Structure 1
Amino acid sequence: MSDNVEHAGYILNFYDRPSRERGDSAFDLGNYFAAREAYISACYALLDDENVSIPLEAGKSGGGRQWQPYIRPDPLLKTFLMMCYNQLARCAIAINHSQEALTWLEEARFVWMTTRFSLNTPLFEWIRHNIALPQLTKELVTAHALASDVFELLGNTSMAVDRRYNIGVESIITPEATRIRDTGKLFRITSLRHPDPSLTASARVTDPELQVMGSWRKVHVRKKGPMKPRLGFAGFIWNGKLYIGGGLGETKGPFYRDFCCLDLAQPTTWRALPSFPQPEGRTGVWLCWSFALHEATARAYLFTGTVQVDFFDLVAEKWHTVQTHGLREASRYRGIKVFEDNAPLCNFKDSTQQVVGDFLYVFGGTHHLTKMGSNLFLQLNLKTMVWRRLSGEMTAGEKADYTCPGPRKTPSSWVDGKGERFYLIGGEMDRSGGQDMNERHAADCGYAYEDLWSFDLKEEKWRNERLVGNVPCPRSEAACVYNPKLDKAIVFGGYNPAFGTQFENNFFPFAYFADTFMFCPDESRKWSVPPPSGPASNPKIFSNPSTAMSASQSRSSITSGIFSTPVTPSSILAPSSTQPKSIAKLSKATNGKWKHVLTRGFPTYRAQSLLLVDPATGKTYLFGGYVNTDWVPSGRPGSSRTFCDLWELRVDVRRVDGQGEEEEGWLEGMGEEERERVLEEESRTARVGPWQRCFACGSAGRWKKCGGSCKGRAFFCDEECLRDGWKQHKQMHGCRKL
């Protein structure tokens, strides 16, 4: 330990110690912008590379190897770099700039992540790689704890839990790091659902750079007709109609091979279409397949892992089959002869697919050789019907490949508005599923990916993107779609197999979500600029003793304890320049930013649902899915509950209409009074997951609906609340007794 401390002191003296000391002094005085400039200077001195701009941005291509400025330094130098990034985050927190704080905290975490990229044997993400250096561990845990606080302040409770629960260094955590982690706070936030009904009634945008207001509206279909609740189905929207096929009714069945459509302009009833004609003996059950819509030919392709690809002719409303070529060579299948010519990807499912022009792209999924997931990336030319391999393998190898995404099932994807990049996010390496087949890397628990990749469709290279902004937590089986009218990608719900949740006396090592996020490719991170003067403390975060600190404590933190006293700065002593020099040195470009869509009501927590966009109207719809009944109160615990409900998502951002004109956002066109009225009504009447909110007291539960002329528009938890809220309900909804 003494050798480490001596070495640490040498590094600190060698790499611009005066800059960091100036930062510490300015921080203690509450001069946060001057402190930031000093800490940034110290970071550049530590990196010692004039060609580097921080935060590091994703290059044109490449995976982990592109982060050389963070790979090269030794662990102690990385420790000081992380310390500076954490201090930069504290400066941003003090001036209420959450976006900048999250940027620096992610940078600190990313420095730690790059330690695996310098190893001679590349490791998969689910293999924990830790350096037994207490100082490095402390800075990582500090970054996670601070990020958890910021995310919680923003209402992103799922990321708040993930940052504090999946800390990543459990095997070498020290008593000091345990205090920073704050197990008391961890226990409190793991008791929340995401979103939690107790927190959504008053949801409001407090940081427009990281949040946007939205609303979920249930679409009432008069008659379900042939449509049944299901999971693992496939679907798409074409010509104003929603098409849904296949899937599983409940955990034990039945498996569906039906095909139905619903007119979204007049959603009166589902109409039955010809069922999928291929026998299960050729394709396996219709579960977790994907439709690939080719607009130019009005065909919906259904790839089931065989050389024969089926498609539905949307004009003639008939099924057909087309023979493809080169699938065995593209998948690099080396198995037994019976599969070589017909089904090299037998029992194929759980992939993500996109059509761009005349090409179908297929990533990941499971098949007869793996239940865990793969990273095989294929392309099918829909004119020549010839397959090509773009990257990846059918099964996970012994070593990781840092140039492309890792093996996974049920990831999410979209293609940008220009048709230039294929984006991939999340998914799961189902290690527990691999135990049945004794697969390499099989284990007791699955791993949910926390990454974002994009594939350049012209250069055919992967790029490991940075996660910027108010990001969704790691998850698989999430609903995802790109909305061209908004030029935004939207993610809803999903599942994480390694996410602690504590409900009363029951602990669940998994979670289902109902939160909504939006990826904004045209928005970049913004850096705070100093005001002329004025106070800038953030008591909501600095009041937490486990994350508050003074810079003098930080100076000794390499050998001493946790920061234990709150910071209560009196004012900001802004630099004389209105634009600090430090801002000019920071990275300007970014490849998009995430925002949390705040909704006061929301569909039930679920996975394997489907988000779809009607290209003509730009409306975003959600259909179906499932949830474990242990997660949502039910009379049948230990099973799954499936859905066939339909919802529409409205988001308060501008969009382009059918004539190319820009329309105002959902709330933007309203006056202040009308906006408040709409939000107030939604907070009192909107469904919150599996529960209703009492119109009078606001509690969430299985309450009784009003029996008046409003036809159940409001709910009440008891007779007392009915009496208390009746007058206001009558005025708001025009209800009368029947």
Structure 2
Amino acid sequence: MATLNLHEVDMGEKRLEHGRVEEAKRVFYDTVKHTCPNFGVFPSLNGIPEDNGSPAEDRIRNKLYSALDGWPAIRLMTACNGLGKSFMMDGDFETALAWFEEVDTIYRNQYFSPEQPKPLFSWFDHNLDSPDFILQRVTALVLSSRIFLYLGNTATAGQRYHQALDTTKNLRSALYTPEYRALVNNNRLREHMLIRNPDPAFCHTLMVSNPRLQVLGSWKKLGERDFAGKGPGARLQFSSFIWNSHLYVFGGTKDNLYGPWHKDFWCIDLRQFEEGAGERGAKGGEPSAEGSEPSTVKKKLTGAQRRAAAAAAAAAAAGKTTDTSTGASWRELPSYPRSLAFNGGRATSFGFVVHPGRKRAYLITGKRDVDFFDLTTEKWGVINASYIPTSNDRKAGVKGDWIFPGSNILNAGRAIHGDKIYIFGGTHGTTLLGCNLLVELDLKTEVWKRLSGYVVPLEDVADHSLPDPRDSPCCWIAPEIEYPESLRGTVSASKGQATKGSPRLYIMYGQINRDGAILKGEKHGANKSFTYNDFWSWDLQRGGWRRETIVGNPPAQRTEMGYTYNERLHKVILFGGYTNAVPSRVEPPGSAAKEFDFTYYGDTFMFDYDGVGPSGAPSGAFPDLLVNCREPATGHQLALPSTKAEQPLNTPAVSANEPSLPEAPPSLSTQEYPRWRHVLTRGFPTYRCQPALHSDPDTGKVYLYGGFTTSDFIPTRKAFATRSFGDLWQLRIDIEGGDFSQVDLEDEARTARAGPWLRCFTCGNAGRWKKCSGQCKGLAGFCGVECQKEGWKEHKRIHKCRKV
């Protein structure tokens, strides 16, 4: 590693102070490149290569950064922050965020330093005892928070700001310099805590300002009311999947404390919700051929009543329950035929994987023998699988003749590729913390194999070569995340390099239940669980874990979220979830404020593997204020930093002894590479965790069902500890194949539900308003008599509504 040029860093700061942004970029970039002269591409999205030039085995952890300490690390972080500020001032937020993430990568590598006597677990904060080190880390977190806030990603903005304060608490007073205090304070944190994610006060006004980091979407509720009492009803901790355009729901509970606990099994045909499928869906017929005209639906109410009555009669004869408002019918399937004593008699927190070729849905419970549901005969069966522990399995904590103690594995990540099922993490009979076991079942040989991980978490030292123990992570299988040659650096080919397009198992986020561990007296127990903020992948062909970089406009760290890999769209979709890493606050008018040490989410994100988008950053400098991002309870606006205009060309040089300027850093906004994008929707399902999010492999459509939230977080007139949901939604995204053509954004901005609230059709305020009682069946809401009088005629004209 070359010696860092401290003089150049100072010169870059001075140029930036004088508004000479392009010159500052070049100086900062030259300083960064000094850290690794044989590697020409930063920020290091693809990782920093090994000393011999072979590709990085880990895209976060590397020998170069972990060997940095003291001033070299601080100066490198300063240069990265300088580049982030420079691109931020140009309005190139995509590149700015990548440079701020590079600062976090340098920070994380302090965990991996060879000088650490014991590798630290992720839930322990680590800072050098230096005010400059802390200042640079906090600078990156706060400035990235401001960018996310401007982009409307309020969840990640709040998480980064809270992290800036939370990870630097309880330090000695000398480390809290005036520069640090100018960046963070509790008043600003309170403003972040008051914003919900999405916030109904302004989510309906957000527009795509950066199409490389944002995309429009729309949540459509299927059925005019929840299916409570008509099929599975509201529940959480259930197992589900989609096959042949049918949603299947098994087990779960209505309340995780009081039950009841279900072991029933239901399905519903999703094709009946297609545009123009009214009569066809009610009668259970096949969908029309692609491209055909939608069927004509009679507008007379009496005709609709007759059709609904006929559908209800047909459903009753077939043993179905029907929602007569839509013709949507659930069909009950054979219940689980075996004992659930191994899980306390409850069919909760399991999961299915579907093998389309075998036409079977395999229920992963943690038992050695695997139950399956035959999707053609609609009968249950079982695989009598085998397992022989190896010596390495014994070293990993396997005792007896089976991997999972208690023969159960709950809230694990599950995925299938070809004839192999993969299970990662989850809790079992001897740990409530969660584990990091990665296990494979070969359906051809019916043999289990442990691939990686430990039965119970290590007690004294962390193992940074694999993900930490956890439950409820995102888990999917997809091709390799590949960066273009221009972002890979000057590296040579290597036998260890993944083949282009080779499949990998991806693991993201999740939690370790440190509070649950206290109940069993486990090591690492604490009063609060820990939510992860990491991203891993496992090479299915060669084995081995690799940390992945989190790039673009990502979701905040969370657990128990809904997620799906959509193979037709080649995208990962994520919705909702929960975190106790970020607190929230409500200040009801006339009532005492409440603070929660958790947050529920209702936002939506998309990981775009193709990374195709318009080239170039949006024009214009960074704005002074976040447009229309105001929390009504406080009346405050979250201000963004103003930028100093570049001085005229005749401004005297900063130094008379300046060297010639080096090369300019590249902008990511001209590259096509995989990244996260925030899906901006006018309305959204209520904030929740444990929802089921699935992609229909036949149509590419994305559906959401169920989940739950805490009643304290969502206003309710009933005194429930938790509220579960039985609603069904479809997500439509403004991309090719995203089923977005029928979306009316202007109308949605006035009528779409904002979580638990209605939006007033006339004035746009969100609240617990009354629905219209006309023929529209509550499509529009009004906050009061005056708005109803003012907006009734327009609502009547647009939605063809009449009094009933």
TM tier relative to shorter chain: 0.7 to 0.9
Of 94, 98, 116 in structure 2, the residue corresponding to residue 103 of structure 1 is 98
Q: Match of 1:24?
A: 13
Where 1:598 maps in the other structure, the secondary structure is strand
Partners of 2:791 and 2:617 in 1: CA distance: 47
How far did 1:139 drift?
1.0
1:451-470 equivalences in 2 (<5 Å): 451-470=534-553
Partners of 1:719 and 1:530 in 2: CA distance: 43
How far did 1:70 drift?
1.2
Q: Match of 2:195?
A: 192
Of 173, 181, 188 in structure 1, the residue corresponding to residue 184 of structure 2 is 181
Residue range with higher mean Cα deviation, 471-480 or 497-506? 497-506
Partners of 1:521 and 1:586 in 2: CA distance: 15
Of 310, 319, 331 in structure 2, the residue corresponding to residue 271 of structure 1 is 331
Distance 1:462 1:718, change over 3 A: same
Q: Match of 1:133?
A: 130
Mapped contact 1:31–1:572 kept (Cα < 8 A): no
Q: Match of 2:467?
A: 405
Mapped contact 1:327–1:344 kept (Cα < 8 A): no
Distance 1:573 1:50, change over 3 A: farther
**Please, which runs of 5 or more residues in structure 1 have no aligned partner?**
1-10, 543-563, 656-664
Partners of 1:352 and 1:401 in 2: CA distance: 20
TM-score calculated relative to the size of structure 1: 0.87
Mapped contact 2:94–2:668 kept (Cα < 8 A): no
CA deviation map 1:689-725 (0-9, x unaligned): 0111110111111211112222221111111110111
2:541 equivalent to 1:441: no
Where 1:208 maps in the other structure, the secondary structure is coil
Distance 1:174 1:288, change over 3 A: same
Mapped contact 2:757–2:768 kept (Cα < 8 A): yes
Partners of 2:576 and 2:195 in 1: CA distance: 15
Q: Which amino acid aligns with 2:215?
A: V
2:233 equivalent to 1:233: no
TM-score calculated relative to the size of structure 2: 0.80
Partners of 2:60 and 2:796 in 1: CA distance: 64
How far did 1:89 drift?
1.2
Distance 1:336 1:108, change over 3 A: closer
Of 674, 697, 700 in structure 1, the residue corresponding to residue 766 of structure 2 is 700
Q: Match of 2:268?
A: 262
Where 1:141 maps in the other structure, the secondary structure is helix
How far did 1:71 drift?
1.2
Of 204, 222, 247 in structure 1, the residue corresponding to residue 252 of structure 2 is 247
2:623 equivalent to 1:538: yes
Q: Match of 2:693?
A: 611
1:630-709 equivalences in 2 (<5 Å): 630-637=712-719, 639-655=721-737, 666=739, 678-709=744-775
Mapped contact 1:55–1:586 kept (Cα < 8 A): no
CA deviation map 1:166-185 (0-9, x unaligned): 22221225153233113221
2:423 equivalent to 1:359: no
How far did 1:278 drift?
1.3
Mapped contact 2:32–2:76 kept (Cα < 8 A): yes
Q: Match of 1:324?
A: 385
Partners of 1:572 and 1:35 in 2: CA distance: 15
Distance 1:524 1:41, change over 3 A: farther
How far did 1:264 drift?
0.8
2:121 equivalent to 1:124: yes
CA deviation map 1:354-396 (0-9, x unaligned): 0100000000000011001110000100111111111111111
**Please, which runs of 5 or more residues in structure 2 have no aligned partner?**
48-54, 274-327, 480-500, 588-592, 628-639, 651-660
Partners of 1:385 and 1:680 in 2: CA distance: 54
Where 2:625 maps in the other structure, the secondary structure is helix
Where 1:129 maps in the other structure, the secondary structure is coil
Mapped contact 2:27–2:662 kept (Cα < 8 A): no
Partners of 2:393 and 2:338 in 1: CA distance: 23
Q: Match of 1:94?
A: 89
Partners of 1:309 and 1:331 in 2: CA distance: 21
Mapped contact 1:93–1:538 kept (Cα < 8 A): no
Q: Percent identity?
A: 37
1:498-647 equivalences in 2 (<5 Å): 498-504=581-587, 505-523=593-611, 536-540=621-625, 566-570=642-646, 581-583=663-665, 592-637=674-719, 639-647=721-729
Q: Which amino acid aligns with 1:726?
A: W
Where 1:595 maps in the other structure, the secondary structure is strand
Q: Match of 2:353?
A: 292
Distance 1:345 1:51, change over 3 A: farther
How far did 1:643 drift?
0.8
CA deviation map 1:451-494 (0-9, x unaligned): 11111111111110001010111101011101122110001001
How far did 1:618 drift?
0.8
CA deviation map 1:295-324 (0-9, x unaligned): 111111112112111111111111111111
Residue range with higher mean Cα deviation, 312-321 or 353-362? 312-321
Mapped contact 2:562–2:690 kept (Cα < 8 A): yes
1:7-22 equivalences in 2 (<5 Å): 15-22=4-11
Partners of 1:541 and 1:282 in 2: CA distance: 53
How far did 1:332 drift?
4.2
Distance 1:166 1:19, change over 3 A: closer
Where 2:665 maps in the other structure, the secondary structure is helix
Q: Which amino acid aligns with 2:39?
A: N
Distance 1:17 1:254, change over 3 A: same
How far did 1:111 drift?
1.1
How far did 1:205 drift?
0.5
